[in-house]
C-alpha cells in the first residue's frame, strides 16, 4: 500500500497558496523518512509551478480546477493518487519525523481526523473561541487540517461524499443541524464534523490518541490574557538555518498550523530549500 501526503491549492488574487504548499512540501522532505515523504499536489494551473525552484518536491502534480480554495479538499478521496493519504492544510510546517504516526494509521485506521490541537506552549486548546458552532451544536471537534484515509475504505467514501454534499448545500444543513449556532461559512471542518455526526462514526474516526499533535496558531486560542487575532503581533516566529523553529522563546517540535497566510517569506523558503538540497 503506497502512502503519501496530499496538498490542495488554487489561485487566489491575494494569497499565495502555492508558496505555502511549497514550504510545507520542503519541510516534509526535510523531516520525514523515505517512504513517508511522498507528496501529491492538486493545483488548478500547473504552469504556476514554473515560479518555484524545486518542483521535484511534489512527487505527483494533478491539475484540477473544479472547486476553489478549501472546497477542493472535500474531494481529497477522489483526487489522491495514493492508496493511503494524509491530506494537510497547506499553511502548516513539519519540524520532525512523524512517520510513526503514519505507521499506526496504516495498521489500524481506514479514516482518522485530528481532534485536538495545542498552543505554541504545548497546552491543549480547550477554548471554543473560533468553534462556537461545534460546542453549541454538539459536533465532534474535528480538525480537517490532518485527515488520514484509505482510498479503498467505504466508510471514508461515504464520509467524504456527505461532506461534499454539506459544502454544496450549506443553508439546508445549517438549518437542520447547526441551528443553535450557524456558521457564516460551512467550511471543511464543519462539514467533516457534521458528516461524522450524521453517519455516527465520530468514535471510529476520531478516538483519543496521543497523536497527531498539531500546534494551532490562531491568536484567539493561545490562552493569552488579552484578545489576539494575529499571533505574530504578540510573539516572534523564528526559523533558523537548521529548520528549527521557535515561537517566542518556545522551541517547537510538532507540526505547526501557522494560519497567517503571509508568514512564509522568500527567506524562509530559501532556508527550507537549502536544507532540502543538502539532503537530496
**Beta-carbon-side half-sphere exposure of residue 6 (alpha carbons within 13 Å):** 30
Options 47, 126, 154, 240; binder of other proteins; rule CB under 8 A: 240
Please tell me whether residue 267 binds other proteins under the rule CB under 8 A: yes
131-158 in b/e form (b: 16+ CB < 10 A) is bebbeebebbbbbbbbbbbbbebeebbb
User: Cα-Cα-Cα-Cα dihedral of 173, 174, 176, 181, to 10°?
Assistant: 150
Please tell me whether residue 142 binds other proteins under the rule CB under 8 A: no
Q: Write the burial class of residue 220 (CB in 10 Å: 0-12 exposed, 13-18 middle, 19+ buried).
A: middle
Q: Do β-strands 3-9 and 39-43 pair in parallel, antiparallel, or remain unpaired? A: parallel
Cα distances from 137 to residues 18, 116, 117, 166, 181, in angstroms, run: 34, 18, 20, 15, 7
Please tell me whether residue 47 binds other proteins under the rule CB under 8 A: no
Please tell me whether residue 14 binds other proteins under the rule CB under 8 A: no
Minimum Å gap between C-beta 82 and other proteins is: 34
Number of residues that bind other proteins (CB under 8 A): 15
Q: Of 47-55, 62-70, 146-154, 262-270, which segment contacts other proteins by CB under 8 A?
A: 262-270
Using the minimum distance from each CB to other proteins, give the nearer residue, 200 or 267: 267
Contacts of 241 (CB under 8 A, 6+ apart): 271, 274, 275
Using the minimum distance from each CB to other proteins, give the nearer residue, 154 or 240: 240
Using the minimum distance from each CB to other proteins, give the nearer residue, 126 or 233: 233
- Cell numbers at residue 26, please? 520542503
Torsion angles phi and psi, residue 239, rounded to 5:
-105, 120
Please tell me whether residue 208 binds other proteins under the rule CB under 8 A: no
Please tell me whether residue 225 binds other proteins under the rule CB under 8 A: no
Options 239, 259, 263, 275; binder of other proteins; rule CB under 8 A: 239
Q: Of 15-23, 139-147, 201-209, 238-246, which segment contacts other proteins by CB under 8 A?
A: 238-246
Q: Of 77-85, 136-144, 190-198, 232-240, which segment contacts other proteins by CB under 8 A?
A: 232-240
CA separation for the pair 30, 64 (Å, rounded)? 27
Using the minimum distance from each CB to other proteins, give the nearer residue, 35 or 236: 236
- Give the ranges where 73-206 is alpha helix by DSSP (H): 76-79, 99-108, 132-136, 154-168, 170-177, 188-199, 202-205
Please tell me whether residue 246 binds other proteins under the rule CB under 8 A: yes
CA separation for the pair 58, 42 (Å, rounded)? 10
Minimum Å gap between C-beta 53 and other proteins is: 15
Q: Do β-strands 39-43 and 245-247 pair in parallel, antiparallel, or remain unpaired? A: unpaired
Options 2, 65, 68, 270; binder of other proteins; rule CB under 8 A: 270
Q: Of 65-73, 127-135, 156-164, 236-244, which segment contacts other proteins by CB under 8 A?
A: 236-244
Please tell me whether residue 232 binds other proteins under the rule CB under 8 A: yes
Minimum Å gap between C-beta 266 and other proteins is: 5
Residues contributing to the site for other proteins (CB under 8 A) = 232-236, 238-241, 246, 249, 265-267, 270
Amino acid at each position: 500500500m503506497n502512502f503519501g501526503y496530499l496538498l490542495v491549492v488554487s489561485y487566489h488574487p491575494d494569497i499565495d497558496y502555492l508558496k505555502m504548499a511549497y514550504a510545507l512540501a520542503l519541510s516534509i522532505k526535510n523531516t520525514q523518512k523515505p517512504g513517508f515523504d511522498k507528496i501529491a499536489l492538486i493545483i488548478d494551473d500547473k504552469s504556476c509551478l514554473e515560479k518555484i525552484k524545486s518542483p521535484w518536491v511534489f512527487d505527483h502534480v494533478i491539475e484540477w480546477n473544479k472547486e476553489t480554495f478549501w472546497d477542493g479538499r472535500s474531494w481529497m478521496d477522489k483526487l489522491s493518487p495514493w492508496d493511503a493519504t494524509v491530506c494537510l492544510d497547506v499553511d502548516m510546517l513539519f519540524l520532525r519525523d512523524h512517520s510513526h504516526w503514519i505507521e499506526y494509521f496504516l495498521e489500524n485506521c481506514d479514516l482518522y481526523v485530528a481532534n485536538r490541537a495545542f498552543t505554541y506552549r504545548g497546552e491543549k486548546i480547550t477554548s471554543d473561541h473560533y468553534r462556537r458552532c461545534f460546542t453549541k451544536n454538539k459536533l465532534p471537534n474535528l480538525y480537517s487540517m490532518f485527515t488520514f484515509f484509505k482510498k479503498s475504505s467505504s466508510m471514508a467514501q461515504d464520509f467524504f461524499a456527505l461532506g461534499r454534499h454539506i459544502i454544496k448545500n450549506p443553508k439546508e444543513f445549517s438549518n437542520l443541524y447547526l441551528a443553535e449556532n450557524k456558521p457564516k461559512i460551512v467550511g471543511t471542518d464543519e462539514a467533516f464534523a457534521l458528516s461524522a455526526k450524521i453517519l455516527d462514526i465520530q468514535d471510529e474516526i476520531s478516538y483519543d490518541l496521543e497523536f497527531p499533535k498539531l500546534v494551532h496558531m490562531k491568536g484567539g486560542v493561545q490562552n493569552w490574557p488579552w484578545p489576539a487575532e494575529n499571533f505574530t503581533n504578540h510573539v516572534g516566529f523564528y526559523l533558523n538555518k537548521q529548520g528549527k523553529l521557535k515561537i517566542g522563546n518556545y522551541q517547537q517540535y510538532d507540526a505547526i498550523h501557522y494560519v497567517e497566510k503571509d508568514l512564509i517569506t522568500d527567506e524562509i523558503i530559501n532556508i527550507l530549500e537549502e536544507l532540502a538540497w543538502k539532503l537530496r
